[in-house]
């Protein structure tokens, strides 16, 4: 090799490339009577699945899971599975469980629906209590011994604590016949994901819960990432990210990622879900507004939505 020259072009990623799997955390559309709008939800499911994305459903955040009834959660899961068939993986997230009993109940319901896997945890006992490692192990042992569905383990900032990466990896290893992946969402802890990937090795795929530091995460070995604030608006950016990664096209990857991250941060910083829904309404997808106790979008929110649409030159949603 000539001195001073790289063996690979600087604009290419090293070969071979791992296949990434990116995902979308679906929101819940409501109609004028504050009931689930099944037609709009099904259209959004088809739209995101057609973009080649995995679907993460009924979360406590984007999907407003804490204000959905059990019947509504089950209906959304059934609609998703019915719409996508084998076209996309469907991961049921649910709300953060207070107990093993609650997690077992959710796992069994989602298993009956036919989802690909169920996210178990993070355990949130309440009153800011941080479970010990022994308590976490007991929780997962109890849940997994009482259920049969494939599961995904997670540590998420929303719980108010971190499961040590080594502990999460060890619990996954203890239940390796059931665990099909792990997710980590700790936006302020830059070393959490590298530690988790080191602890897990090649045994399980690992996803992150936002596009923040996505290129770094994927380069370190993450399977991909999932999000909500950006991907529900512009799933084509995620399709382009996967294609650029597969092609080893670093300039295109950087350009796509820059657009993705800008949109994510802009929507999140402007108000999050209430702005996301206002944008989609303006783009022609009548997702309604948020359920109480969140406030409904008003003139101020729609003005912000219009500004973001103009700023990013967002196109009408075709459904």
Does the bond joining 293 to the residue before it have cis omega, within 30 degrees of 0? yes
Query: pLDDT 10s digit of each residue in the chain, 319 long?
Result: 444 444 444 455 544 457 899 999 999 999 999 999 999 999 999 999 999 999 999 999 999 999 999 999 999 999 999 999 889 999 999 999 999 999 999 999 999 999 999 999 999 999 999 999 999 999 999 999 999 999 999 999 989 999 999 999 999 999 999 999 999 999 888 999 999 999 999 999 999 999 999 999 999 999 999 999 999 999 999 999 999 999 999 999 999 999 999 999 999 999 999 999 999 999 999 999 999 999 999 999 999 999 999 999 999 998 7
In angstroms, rounded to a whole number, what is the distance separating the alpha carbons of residues 207 and 93?
Answer: 13
The upper half-sphere exposure of residue 31, i.e. CA atoms within 13 Å in the direction of its Cβ, equals 8
In angstroms, rounded to a whole number, what is the distance separating the alpha carbons of residues 54 and 133?
Answer: 31
Map the chain to HEC letters.
Answer: CCCCCCCCCCCECCCCCCCCCCEEECCCCECCCCCECHHHHHHHHHHHHHCCCEEEEEECCCCCHHHCCHHHHHHHHHHHHHHHCCCCCEEEEECCCCCHHHHHHHHHHHHHHCCCEEEECCCCCCCCCCCCHHHHHHHHHHHHHCCCCCEEEEEEHHHCCCCCHHHHHHHHHHCCCCEEEEEEECCCCCCHHHHHHHHHCCCCCEEECCCCCHHHHHHHCCCEEEECCCCCCCHHHHHHHHHHHHHCEHHHHHHHHHHHHHHHHHHHHHCCHHHHHHHHHHCCCCCCCCCCCCCCCCHHHHHHHHHHHHHHCCCCCCC
In angstroms, rounded to a whole number, what is the distance separating the alpha carbons of residues 130 and 6?
Answer: 49
Q: Determine the pLDDT at residue 227.
A: 96
In angstroms, rounded to a whole number, what is the distance separating the alpha carbons of residues 83 and 114?
Answer: 12
Sign of CA dihedral 297, 302, 303, 304: positive
User: 23-233: what CATH class?
Assistant: alpha beta
Burial 242-271 (b: 16+ CB within 10 A, else e): bebbeebbbebbeebbebbbebbebbbebb
**For residue 284, how many other CB atoms are within 10 A of its CB?**
11
In angstroms, rounded to a whole number, what is the distance separating the alpha carbons of residues 21 and 214?
Answer: 12
- All structural domains of the chain with their residue ranges: 23-233
Q: Which two tokens stand for residue 110?
A: 């989602």
Residue pair 84/45 in contact (Cβ under 8 Å)? The answer is: yes
The pTM of the full predicted model, rounded to 2 decimals, is 0.93
Q: Determine the pLDDT at residue 3.
A: 45
Residue pair 230/48 in contact (Cβ under 8 Å)? The answer is: no
Residues paired with residue 30 on neighbouring β-strands, in sequence order: 36
Cβ within 8 Å of residue 82, ≥6 positions away? none
Q: Which two tokens stand for residue 97?
A: 């469980």
């Amino acid at each position: 090799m000539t001195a001073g020259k790289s063996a690979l072009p600087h604009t290419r990623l090293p070969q071979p490339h791992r296949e990434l799997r990116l995902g979308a955390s679906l929101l819940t559309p409501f109609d004028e009577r504050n009931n689930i709008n099944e037609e709009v939800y099904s259209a959004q499911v088809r739209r995101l699945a057609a973009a080649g994305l995995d679907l993460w459903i009924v979360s406590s955040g984007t999907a407003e899971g804490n204000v959905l009834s059990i019947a509504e959660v089950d209906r959304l899961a059934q609609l998703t599975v019915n719409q996508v068939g084998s076209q996309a993986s469907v991961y049921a997230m649910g709300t953060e469980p207070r107990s093993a009993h609650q997690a077992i109940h959710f796992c069994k319901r989602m298993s009956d629906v036919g989802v690909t896997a169920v996210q178990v945890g993070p355990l949130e006992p309440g009153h800011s209590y941080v479970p010990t490692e022994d308590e976490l192990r007991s929780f997962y042992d109890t849940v997994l011994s009482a259920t049969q569905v494939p599961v995904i383990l997670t540590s998420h900032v929303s719980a108010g604590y971190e499961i040590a990466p080594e502990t999460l990896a060890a619990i996954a290893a203890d239940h390796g016949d059931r665990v099909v992946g792990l997710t980590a969402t700790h936006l302020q802890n830059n070393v959490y994901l590298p530690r988790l990937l080191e602890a897990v090795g090649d045994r399980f795929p690992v996803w992150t819960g936002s596009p923040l530091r996505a290129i770094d995460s994927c380069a370190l070995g993450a399977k991909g990432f999932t999000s909500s604030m950006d991907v529900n608006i512009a799933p084509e950016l995620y399709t382009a990210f996967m294609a650029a990664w597969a092609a080893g096209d670093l300039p295109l990857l950087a350009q796509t990622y820059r657009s993705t991250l800008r949109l994510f941060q802009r929507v999140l910083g402007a108000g999050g879900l209430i702005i996301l829904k206002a944008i989609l309404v303006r783009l022609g997808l009548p997702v309604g507004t948020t359920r109480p106790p969140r406030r409904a979008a008003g003139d101020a929110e729609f003005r912000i939505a219009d500004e973001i649409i103009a700023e990013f030159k967002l196109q009408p949603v075709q459904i």
